[in-house]
Structure 1
């Protein structure tokens, strides 16, 4: 996992996001209402990060420190705009979970928070199956409501934890996110 530093890396992340959004749309699954999410990954000011394996981008996200979510208590590492490679057989979400929990702990943050689109009641598929996977990985559901971009979301929280040995699985060269300077929470 590392901060995307070059235009080529950011363009690769934007392409991954476009592929993921297309994949979701073709399956009738919700996509963010915001029109140009890929542009966020092209913008070096957002400081996106990517999970790579053998030079292949598996996932991208925008890590932020305490972006003023309006939910959850205390400071946090917020994982914004998490997108994974469509139809990839490995459990990328589990790797992101392990990395995020350890990264937050190294930043002296007590928790990791994220939002997942939830256009259906939380006990109805497709969101119910996804939430079961998240809770099996240690995430806690903190209710649902309007997300930062106006979409209906489920709020997720994960305790920070110094996880020994994770660095042998996931090397980390991600910037230490600063507190968000604006109301969108982009660090």
Structure 2
């Protein structure tokens, strides 16, 4: 996992986001309605990060240190705009979960928070299946409501935990996340 530093890396992340959004749309799944998400990844001010394996970008996101969301109290590491390359194994989400929990602990933040688009009830498929997988990975569901961009989302929290030996699975070269501006990076 590393901060995307070059225009080429950020453009690759924007293309991954577009591929993911197209994949979701073809399956009738929700995509963000309000924001030009690919443009956020092209913008160096957002400090996007990417998960690479053998030089291939498998996932991208915008990690930010956040003093709290409207639905959560206290500081956290917020994972915004998490996108994985379509048709990749669930292991990528598990690696991101482990990495985020460890990064938050190393930043002395108690929690990781994220939002997942959920236009319908959380018990309805296909969001219910995704939420079951995430809770199996350690995420807690904190209800649903309007996200940072106005889209309805499931609210997730993960306890920060140092994970000794994680570097054998995933390296971390991400800049310490900064405070997020209010208009960027929700999921």
Q: What TM-score comes out, normalization by structure 2 length?
A: 0.96
Instruction: Compare 28-37 and 125-134 and name the one that shifted more.
Output: 28-37
CA RMSD after TM alignment: 1.1
**Residue equivalent to 1:98:** 98
3-state SS of 1:25 partner: helix
CA offset digits 1:67-116 (Å, max 9, x no partner): 54111121000000000000113521101000000000000000000000
**Residue equivalent to 2:166:** 166
**Residue equivalent to 1:135:** 135
Does the 8 A contact of 1:80 with 1:115 survive in 2? Answer: yes
3-state SS of 2:173 partner: coil
Does the 8 A contact of 2:68 with 2:76 survive in 1? Answer: no
CA offset digits 1:144-165 (Å, max 9, x no partner): 0000000000000000000111
Does the 8 A contact of 1:67 with 1:185 survive in 2? Answer: no
Equivalenced residue count is 185
**Residue equivalent to 1:58:** 58
1:184 matched to 2:146? The reply is: no
1:12-91 to 2 correspondences below 5 Å: 12-66=12-66, 68-91=68-91
3-state SS of 1:52 partner: strand
3-state SS of 2:138 partner: coil
**Unpaired stretches in structure 1, ≥5 consecutive residues:** none
Q: Distance in 1 between matches of 2:96 and 2:28?
A: 25
**Residue equivalent to 1:3:** 3
**Structure-2 change in CA distance of 1:90 and 1:71 (3 Å):** closer
Does the 8 A contact of 2:68 with 2:74 survive in 1? Answer: no
**Residue equivalent to 1:118:** 118
Does the 8 A contact of 1:64 with 1:185 survive in 2? Answer: no
Does the 8 A contact of 1:67 with 1:184 survive in 2? Answer: no
Q: Distance in 1 between matches of 2:37 and 2:107?
A: 27
Moved runs in structure 1, 4+ residues, more than 3 A? none
Q: What TM-score comes out, normalization by structure 1 length?
A: 0.96
**Unpaired stretches in structure 2, ≥5 consecutive residues:** none
3-state SS of 2:87 partner: coil
**Structure-2 change in CA distance of 1:156 and 1:90 (3 Å):** closer
3-state SS of 2:129 partner: helix
